[in-house]
Structure 1
Amino acid sequence: MSLKRVVLLLLFACSLQMAGAQGKYQWKEATSGGYTYKYISNDPMKARLYTLKNGLTVILSVNNKEPRIQTLIGTRAGSDNDPKDHTGLAHYLEHLLFKGTSQYGSLDWAKEKPLIDQVSNLYDKYNKTVDPAARKAVYHEIDSVSGVAAKYAIANEYDKMMSGMGAQGTNAHTWVEETIYEEDIPSNAIDKYLTVQAERFRDPVFRLFHTELEAVYEEKNRGLDNDGRKVYETMLAALFPTHNYGQQSTIGTVEHLKNPNLKAIRQFYNEYYVPNNMAVVMAGDFDPDYVIKSIDQKFSYMKTTPVKEYKPAPEAPIKAPIVKEVFGPDAESIDIAFRMPGALDTKSNIVLGVMSSILQNGKAGLLDLNINKQQKVLNASANSMSLKDYSILSLSGKAKQGQTLEEVKALLLGQLDILKKGEFDETLVKAIVNNAKLAELQGLESNNNRATSMMDGFIKSKGQNWAYDVAYVDDMSSVTKKQIVDYANKFLNDNYVIVYKRKGEDKNIQKVEKPVITPVEVNREAQSAFLKKISAIPATPVKPQWLDYEKDIQKTTIGNTEMMYVQNKDNGLFRLYYRFDMGNWNNKKLALAAQYLQFLSTDKYTSEQISKEFYNIACNFSVSATNENTSIVISGLQENFDKAVTLFEHVIANCKPNEEALASLKGRLQKSRADSKLNKGAIMKGVVNYAMYGAKNPFNNQLSQAELDGVTATELTSILHELPSYKHTIIYYGPEPLATVAADVKKLHPLPAAFKEAPAAVKFAKDNQAKNQVLFADYDMVQTEVNWLRNTDTYDPAKTGLIMLFNSYFGGGMGSIVFQTIRESKALAYSTYAYYSSPDKKGERYSTVAYVGSQADKMNDAVVGMNELLNDVPRSDKLLETAKEGLKQDIETERITNDGIIFSYLAAKKLGLNTDIRKQVYEAIPGMNFGDVKKFHDEYVANKPYTYCIVASEKKVSLDDLKKYGEVKKLTMEEIFGY
């Protein structure tokens, strides 16, 4: 069972009772609006499952929380279904389904089609050509004909249509058994959305293929720089020597990526993108009778076609541990994986789900209490992943300082021995079910969780196991200790794969080389007749809703502090916050103290007992320190509010110093800090902070080694004991009335007669970029990461609307100028963006930020391409109108709810505002034009000095090349991290 599936099934399993599922969750049938559907009794999502005449599955769940709908269109075909000689094909196809059809994405289909056919034939020829010189000649011809074809293409017209109707999260993904297309649309865009999607899947055109192919090359190369991905693929290959799970990576082999075949991709589309193999899933605010009728009308053209299912031969049992090693620059780790029965074995999956939670649940599992709580390793985890044919149970760990991976392995396998002996409390199963109740209540609020769960059910079983999915929590409650022990002894022996991630050079990396690509036309101003048709479809206006902080938030006084309150009218969950106006900038030891708390006992409870107590009542607490604030959060089921708050107050007031725990924490922290220096993402974050603030910055505002060594257990517990004596605001979101909860908090949360004054905060001021500069960090990688950084003026709320429009138009999404130019036209990067970053505090400064991640040999071209855009913004009135309409739709359909109302108020207050600024932005949108965007760009972005933040390998990037951009400073890890 995949981690995704475990979480989703816990979120959406129905019962809140401990009674058995039998009889409670039954298939039923109903008819409404002329359509018959199936459903499961007592399903909290009230999912309707339709099968249309052509075999198309439609699954609908209504949720009126906000006027938006999460949509997924999926096909039960992924990399498992790729031909053996064309791995990566399903993923290629996913990319191409954003390129349009004969109806949209083209200026003149009659003229474009012969050129598209010619490109397809040339790729077929290229695929069959072996001689390097001949291949180069064919590719030159492909590039030439593609350039001519591109003159008739309208790049990103799909994205323009979706943005124009107010869609968000436009995306897709391919995995072993699925390809899913994702959109989050406004409720009034149903007709527009369905019209576009029906056309999208009617007869897609594979245009602009060679630039999109280069984007996939970039994606592959990024994967080669990801040690975690390499470990995952190595694990699958060893677990599944026969099955395509292990033998066909989703993105494809380097050899196959270099030899694509458009005819093979078309054949794959024809075989698997058929109605009886596809589903349309929608969760949100809509009339299901209207929606099913519309889907039926729009997709009735699809014809049922027999689908050849992938039927793998069974894997031979693993009879002895299989040991693998992966090398790379990131920190060392270990993964141990077992092959388990697949998702269609529902009885096995229920036991596996419970067993996985017994191993780790974040609080009271075996790994939680025996490994992580006792700090025996840097960190350890257990996960389960569910696929149709097999599931995977995996244990992962990282070594602490002075520890070997072999020692971590022994500790992880030792927990399996405990499990197999049944040395765990049987009441843990009940606690797991109680926490599943909590998760389901939280999950029902999210349209994305609903839609993902329903689609997952379709991919695994075409929805036939939905009753099992709905009854999951009830069925978990019936699992016995004996079943778990028997199951563990049956499946968890020496039949595992172990992957050691070692630090070192990966000598097996085979990079996808950059082909020569001539930039192609993107025709920004062009619009197809189809796009105009979509724009003309009527949409009932949605009235925006503004927050009125005076009315939407209730306040009262408790002792000498304020309590802010918003009622939860949806369910029985609460969240209680103590929010302090001090953080790491006031005391660098605050974050360490917050981390230390989880390892401390009191005079009444051990730290293990504290974790168990919270888990048993389905509640939780956390203490976290950011730069300027510290937050205590207590959450869970309202019925256990008093117990949870009382327990936390006891812990914070009575935690006792533990020198041994602190020594272990310091050792783990030192190892974690060392590991961060091996992580390219952390390195780049540090380099950007250095560029933004200078040598002393928020990122490297860390305890030095000497400071860390000098911290005592008594000092940290004193910080924790004294924390409630500093000024803080109390925030409550939950079902109880204000007067009731205020009285409870007053009784349970002792307040001092007067608050202590917080230590003075360290100040960090953003730097001025007086001249171009390059900050360089060396890292062993295939790709090159480049960030541009420039600080500008101080915060001005009057500019908010224009900044939001500029970001959307210029570089904030797939339809933006930056993405179209850098990726779609020039094929210089898989990932790229640029935006004007707003501060979160009055008096602070804005920053211009841009990014390109490219192959090292394309870095110079990518930098030139981005600089051209930073210095001269191209004009596209059509794109600007799309950006304006999308921004307008976003605001109209956004609903800030729950405790989000209070945090919106606090964020506004920090900026010096007392009203919902969205109203000001919304009213300003109609009056904004390209002249405003151009003036803004010229004033704050164009022809200015920038600091280039570059993380790359010195073996692949010339420092002389970097000097062309500005004075080069090579940063050491100590300069970046502060230790």
Structure 2
Amino acid sequence: MRSFSLFLFLALAASLQLSAQGKYEWKEASSGGYTYRYVTGDPMQARYYKLKNGLTVILSVNKKEPRIQTLIGVRAGSNSDPKDHTGLAHYLEHLLFKGTAQYGSLDWSKEKPYLEQIEGLYDTYNKTTDAAQRKGIYRQIDSVSGLAAKYAIANEYDKMMSNMGAQGTNAHTWVEETVYQEDIPSNSIDKFLTVQAERFRDPQFRIFHTELEAVYEEKNRGLDNDGRKMYEKMLETLFPTHNYGQQSTIGTVEHLKNPSLKAIRQFYNEYYVPNNMAIIFAGDFDPDYVIKRVDEKFSYMQPKPVQEYKAPVEAPITAPIVKEVFGPDAENVNLAFRMPGALDTKNSVILTVISQVLSNGKAGLLDLNLNKQQKVLGAGVSIMPWKDYTVFALSGRAKQGQSLDEVKDLLLGQLEILRKGEFDETLITAIVNNFKLYEIQGLESNGNRANTLMDAFIKHRGDNWLYDVAYIDDMSKVTKQQIVDFANTWLNNNYVLLYKRKGEDKNIVKVDKPPITPVEVNRDAQSEFLQTVAAMPATAVKPQWLDYSKDIQKGKAGNADMLYVQNSDNSLFRLYYHFDMGAWNNKKLPFAAQYLQYLGTDKYSSEEISKQFYNIACSFNISAGSEETTVSISGLQENFDKAVALFEHLLHNCKADDEVLAGFKNRILKQRADNKLNKGQILNGLRSYATYGAKNPFNNQLSNQELEAVTAAELVNILHDLPNYKHTVIYYGPQSLADASAAVKQMHTLPASFKAYPPAQKFEKSVQTANKVFFADYDMVQAEVSWVRNGNVYDPANTAVVNLFNNYFGGGMGSIVFQTIRESKALAYSTYAYYATPNKKNDRYGVMAYVGSQADKVNDAIAGMNELLNTLPQSEKAFETARSSMKKDIETQRITQDGIIFSYLSARKLGLDTDIRKSVYESIDKLKFDDLKKLHQQNISGKPYSYCIVASEERVKPEDLKKYGEVQKVTLEEIFGY
């Protein structure tokens, strides 16, 4: 079964089906009046139901916490879009959040005629080519949309879900699927099913033109994303006739400009039918109760024949096809192969094993021969197995002074090794052992369970769940000869070669901003349907608080303090050495931590150490942050002693290697150069600059000159000396405290007394006395704008009101900020604002706001956010929803496993010795809107802000920004510190 990374969608070989019989078999059972099928030996214990109307229902019970991950999936994505309306499935996904005749409307009888008029206007607009006439029609659309919006209740779906305590409200569309997701409390099943049944019964496409603008923004953001452009170019080239390559999920610019509500409605009627859909629950529930309620709520759906996409057969690729993509981000190279699809189960399992032989993060050919030996900046493998074809790709990034062609040759060289079979066959056994580990880890997550089951359904393999369950057993039967034969058949010169080069993309055609009049959002309005759902009874869920004195056992491992929580669920362990020092104590510490992964000892090479860890399904990592450093060792408890002993051997006996250090420095310098090409990194650095000043945590780096001067002996000495500093040992696993303590004491060498930490560098947050604009130039279509303001010193008494304020103001799709900026004014695809709580006492709160918009809307976007920062809109209904959501989140939250220990450590940093959630929960009902207003007035409204803006000087002129404050153009060297 596939309970590991969802990116590795897996299928099983048909030739292995007989081997699955016996240990794994389909069985049938009845319970609660319903018959279901299940697979013997399935760790998920998934029940497969098929209702009379063809609706598939899949249930997997996990009692770990009182929550349920739900997915509602439709086997229709961009593959199914009409040729003349690409992006339609994605449009529809957005519109399924807009409500029905029963909710989302103040008065459906009055709203309906306007929506019908808008639909007709879009139909006319779609068929009109004259530019002047189109503008006139769009003015009509905008005008009528404003009238229709007076009867619309924006985000009422999100309000209902928030009110019942749902989290992660979202959806996605891909080539073969559209999936709607909610994480709900276990006591909200009836409410959830009532809302979902209505949602899919009668969707209404209201507030369409502002949502359309959000999709425009999403498209334009993609034009600034070099990775997305590479992805689309890869598919376009691999699939010259198949819809995989000819119809992007978000659609073409031309089709985005010419939407058809009639075509969207037709798509819904054709594909959103029960025999083409599945409902999946994974979590804490009674399956007999759930299936009965699903049947009652969704029996109205009527099945229809579904016209599936008939895939053309692509002509074989007989020689490399070379393509280039240009953009401002870092360069890289990809080799993409078109492989048999997931429905061709004969080869799917072999291809999956091949992907792991090439790259598993530790001991694959790319891992050891390229990454570990620092021959490239980074290399890896990815798989996208769709029904008709699978995309198999190798990617690589060049180190300093290296060409992309050299990277390409190195990648091809690893394929040649694979074809010749020059790898150890025991690697297959190690891959299987690690997949057993991933399976155990995956069972802990409701989201992983649900997504794995949904993936099987989408790929028409729901009936093949038996082979998903038997997957690891069958994978172990793959032989080296099968791998070699497959590689020689499928991995030759039949690839697409893609170069991502730095440079201007002259083919960008953005979706122009249409004139949009802000529409009503009717924040305080509520439909009768919402009120009915809210009034439905729900069994109370009692919150559970941590008692750090009881939930954590304390002991000693030598002279180190030890914190312990037992794992009573499975056979996994996690061991940590936690230090209260980091880069602020020693700038070289993070480099030493990274350097270790390339070092060997007097007994083992670096490659041998990686192999040993992979063979025992264990791993280690050293994470050096600003003020903390954490060593982690994890894996199967049966290999605890081997893993800890191996890490201790490496840490204490690693040898300085000047040649390795030279390669390491080369890669660091190239990564630094690449960081300066990444707009996300630039914005993060600009925020830090605005928060702390010119000297800040983000640019607290060794200069390039200082880095070049670092010696191998220095870094190795830092590593050897690390255990001599005071640290806490943390253990989560099946062993008893006494046994774990004794084992660590025996293997973890400690000094007689700990050394004092080096003095830490201090960073003080700036005090803003006047508005100021910090501007960084970057070649892109969009503009990224952040507001930063530092507030007062942390006070735990403020926690409840701060959390409630964030829930109400800018914490999600039902928040004031989202409703105003996106739903009403269509100014951005992504926006948020919150009052950030520090993570340590004596630190200060901070205001953080963000809008990502088209450059030609940046002034409107800034004005829109400034209005909200200065004037807090009041909505008692939204306030009650925020309060209800916050209570339910706390009631159903369960902090478990080693999360208990890290909760304790976080509380201790804030000067707390109890679980603060208890006092927060007890305060929620006492809070009034006036409390939020007071927080807003005292800390946010009318205050000076630092504006952080990353945009192109050709599209956003720095001189135009002077009206917001003094403008300072910040160089990349000032931002990054190198």
Alignment TM class, shorter chain as reference:
over 0.9
How far residue 312 of structure 1 moved from its aligned partner, in angstroms, is 1.1
Taking a change above 3 Å as real, the CA distance of residues 97 and 638 of structure 1, as seen in their structure-2 partners, is same
Taking a change above 3 Å as real, the CA distance of residues 332 and 2 of structure 1, as seen in their structure-2 partners, is farther
Q: Distance in 2 between matches of 1:936 and 1:631?
A: 36
Match of 1:897 in 2: 896
Aligned positions of 1:177-326 closer than 5 A: 177-326=176-325
Aligned positions of 1:492-503 closer than 5 A: 492-503=491-502
Q: Secondary structure at the match of 1:583?
A: coil
How far residue 298 of structure 1 moved from its aligned partner, in angstroms, is 0.1
Q: Distance in 1 between matches of 2:564 and 2:278?
A: 42
Q: Secondary structure at the match of 2:280?
A: strand
Please say if residues 230 and 326 of structure 1, whose CA atoms lie closer than 8 Å, have aligned partners that are also in contact: yes
Q: Distance in 2 between matches of 1:584 and 1:166?
A: 39
Query: For each residue in 1:660-686, what CA deviation from the matched residue of structure 2 results, as whole angstroms up to 9, or x when unmatched?
Result: 000000001000000000000000000
How far residue 347 of structure 1 moved from its aligned partner, in angstroms, is 2.5
Q: Secondary structure at the match of 2:964?
A: coil
Please say if residues 382 and 394 of structure 1, whose CA atoms lie closer than 8 Å, have aligned partners that are also in contact: yes
Q: Distance in 1 between matches of 2:840 and 2:684?
A: 21
Q: Secondary structure at the match of 1:576?
A: strand
Q: Secondary structure at the match of 2:20?
A: coil
Q: Distance in 2 between matches of 1:613 and 1:949?
A: 47
How far residue 7 of structure 1 moved from its aligned partner, in angstroms, is 5.7
Q: Which amino acid aligns with 1:425?
A: D
Query: For each residue in 1:530-559, what CA deviation from the matched residue of structure 2 results, as whole angstroms up to 9, or x when unmatched?
Result: 000000100000000000000000001222
Aligned positions of 1:526-925 closer than 5 A: 526-925=525-924
Taking a change above 3 Å as real, the CA distance of residues 90 and 4 of structure 1, as seen in their structure-2 partners, is farther
Match of 1:955 in 2: 954
Query: For each residue in 1:714-736, what CA deviation from the matched residue of structure 2 results, as whole angstroms up to 9, or x when unmatched?
Result: 11111101101111000000001
How far residue 750 of structure 1 moved from its aligned partner, in angstroms, is 1.2
Q: Which amino acid aligns with 1:101?
A: T
Please say if residues 5 and 385 of structure 1, whose CA atoms lie closer than 8 Å, have aligned partners that are also in contact: no
Q: Secondary structure at the match of 1:963?
A: helix
Match of 2:15 in 1: none
**TM-score of the aligned structures, taking structure 2 as reference length:** 0.99
Taking a change above 3 Å as real, the CA distance of residues 169 and 200 of structure 1, as seen in their structure-2 partners, is same
Q: Distance in 2 between matches of 1:770 and 1:286?
A: 54
Q: Distance in 1 between matches of 2:488 and 2:8?
A: 27
Query: For each residue in 1:407-456, what CA deviation from the matched residue of structure 2 results, as whole angstroms up to 9, or x when unmatched?
Result: 00000000000000000000000000000011000110000000000000
How far residue 560 of structure 1 moved from its aligned partner, in angstroms, is 1.7
User: Is the counterpart of residue 366 in structure 1 residue 365 in structure 2?
Assistant: yes
Q: Secondary structure at the match of 2:538?
A: coil
Match of 2:36 in 1: 37
Please say if residues 569 and 735 of structure 1, whose CA atoms lie closer than 8 Å, have aligned partners that are also in contact: yes
Q: Which amino acid aligns with 1:555?
A: K
Aligned positions of 1:42-441 closer than 5 A: 42-441=41-440
Higher mean alpha-carbon deviation, 754-763 vs 165-174, is at 754-763
Match of 1:945 in 2: 944
How far residue 6 of structure 1 moved from its aligned partner, in angstroms, is 6.3
Q: Secondary structure at the match of 2:249?
A: coil
Q: Which amino acid aligns with 2:208?
A: F
How far residue 465 of structure 1 moved from its aligned partner, in angstroms, is 1.6
Match of 1:16 in 2: none
Q: Distance in 1 between matches of 2:800 and 2:443?
A: 33
Q: Distance in 2 between matches of 1:4 and 1:529?
A: 43
Q: Write out the 4+ residue segments of structure 1 that deviate beyond 3 Å after TM superposition.
A: 1-10, 19-22
Q: Distance in 2 between matches of 1:410 and 1:817?
A: 53
Q: Distance in 1 between matches of 2:745 and 2:194?
A: 56
Q: Distance in 1 between matches of 2:929 and 2:754?
A: 52
Taking a change above 3 Å as real, the CA distance of residues 717 and 810 of structure 1, as seen in their structure-2 partners, is same
Match of 1:474 in 2: 473
Q: Distance in 2 between matches of 1:58 and 1:859?
A: 46
Q: Distance in 1 between matches of 2:359 and 2:601?
A: 24
Q: Distance in 2 between matches of 1:186 and 1:542?
A: 9
Please say if residues 123 and 261 of structure 1, whose CA atoms lie closer than 8 Å, have aligned partners that are also in contact: yes
Please say if residues 279 and 458 of structure 1, whose CA atoms lie closer than 8 Å, have aligned partners that are also in contact: yes
User: Is the counterpart of residue 935 in structure 1 residue 952 in structure 2?
Assistant: no
Q: Distance in 1 between matches of 2:421 and 2:732?
A: 40
Please say if residues 210 and 825 of structure 2, whose CA atoms lie closer than 8 Å, have aligned partners that are also in contact: yes
How far residue 383 of structure 1 moved from its aligned partner, in angstroms, is 1.4
CA RMSD of aligned residues (A): 1.3
Q: Secondary structure at the match of 1:604?
A: coil
Q: Distance in 2 between matches of 1:58 and 1:404?
A: 52
Query: For each residue in 1:249-301, what CA deviation from the matched residue of structure 2 results, as whole angstroms up to 9, or x when unmatched?
Result: 00000000000000000000000000000000010000000000000000000
How far residue 756 of structure 1 moved from its aligned partner, in angstroms, is 1.1
Please say if residues 2 and 392 of structure 1, whose CA atoms lie closer than 8 Å, have aligned partners that are also in contact: no
Higher mean alpha-carbon deviation, 553-562 vs 57-66, is at 553-562
Please say if residues 56 and 275 of structure 1, whose CA atoms lie closer than 8 Å, have aligned partners that are also in contact: yes
Q: Secondary structure at the match of 2:60?
A: strand
Please say if residues 67 and 187 of structure 1, whose CA atoms lie closer than 8 Å, have aligned partners that are also in contact: yes
How far residue 177 of structure 1 moved from its aligned partner, in angstroms, is 0.1
Q: Distance in 2 between matches of 1:347 and 1:452?
A: 23
Q: Which amino acid aligns with 1:583?
A: G
How far residue 21 of structure 1 moved from its aligned partner, in angstroms, is 3.4
Q: Distance in 2 between matches of 1:646 and 1:964?
A: 62
Match of 2:521 in 1: 522
How far residue 958 of structure 1 moved from its aligned partner, in angstroms, is 1.9
Q: Distance in 2 between matches of 1:278 and 1:918?
A: 39
Q: Secondary structure at the match of 2:463?
A: coil
Q: Which amino acid aligns with 2:269?
A: N
Gaps of 5+ in 1: 14-18
**TM-score of the aligned structures, taking structure 1 as reference length:** 0.99
Gaps of 5+ in 2: 13-17
Q: Which amino acid aligns with 1:943?
A: G
Q: Distance in 1 between matches of 2:170 and 2:253?
A: 24
Q: Secondary structure at the match of 2:602?
A: coil
How far residue 24 of structure 1 moved from its aligned partner, in angstroms, is 1.2
How far residue 464 of structure 1 moved from its aligned partner, in angstroms, is 1.6
How far residue 9 of structure 1 moved from its aligned partner, in angstroms, is 6.4
Taking a change above 3 Å as real, the CA distance of residues 194 and 303 of structure 1, as seen in their structure-2 partners, is same
How far residue 960 of structure 1 moved from its aligned partner, in angstroms, is 2.2
Please say if residues 2 and 468 of structure 2, whose CA atoms lie closer than 8 Å, have aligned partners that are also in contact: no
Please say if residues 6 and 384 of structure 1, whose CA atoms lie closer than 8 Å, have aligned partners that are also in contact: no
Q: Secondary structure at the match of 1:464?
A: helix
How far residue 706 of structure 1 moved from its aligned partner, in angstroms, is 1.6
Q: Distance in 2 between matches of 1:218 and 1:264?
A: 22
Query: For each residue in 1:84-128, what CA deviation from the matched residue of structure 2 results, as whole angstroms up to 9, or x when unmatched?
Result: 000000000000000000000000000000000000000000000
Match of 1:464 in 2: 463
